Amino acid sequence: MVESVEPVESVESVESVKSVESVESVNQEPIVDPLKRKFLKIIGGSGLGILMLAIFKPKSAEAAFFGSVPGPGTVAIKDSNDNKIDPAIKSPTDAYGVTQIDDSTPAYYGFVNKEGAWYITKEDTDGSYRYNKGTGNFSGNWSTRASLTYDYFDAIF
């Protein structure tokens, strides 16, 4: 004789399992991170503030990003003779590049800047350095470097 076998899972049992799962998921506490919310608020507020600054005051926004100070104009630095000084040049000889070297005794070093001004340094046997400078014709002065008059750095520059 053949007996009828009930299925292992019935409709009622599957629904009851689903309802248990849904109750369990509702009963789980959500993960809360108050610092994350605060961080997101700060970032959102900052982004909105920078956007408004860029729209209404583009020069100030540029200063915020690139570090320049907005103002009415450029501030110039001047020397005692009222000549503008480039603050990137720290020494009177920084703008010069070496052009010629004569390493005999005494040794001579020739330097020229982009405007054509030059100076020649004379290194003597005792380790002292003397200077001469001019505003043009470096090659002519280089060829007569031994007969030029040299003096201390502070006297020449």
Residues 6+ apart with CB under 8 A from 109: 98, 100, 101, 102, 120, 121, 123
Is the pLDDT at 16 greater than 60? The verdict is no
Q: In 1-128, where do the E strands start and end?
A: 77-78, 84-85, 97-102, 107-112, 118-123
Domain that holds residue 123: 86-156
Is the pLDDT at 98 greater than 60? The verdict is yes
**Residue 11 resides in a domain:** no
Q: Are residues 137 and 96 in the same domain?
A: yes
Q: In this prediction, what percent of the chain has a pLDDT beyond 90?
A: 36
**Residue 16 resides in a domain:** no
What pTM did the predictor assign? 0.46
**Residue 7 resides in a domain:** no
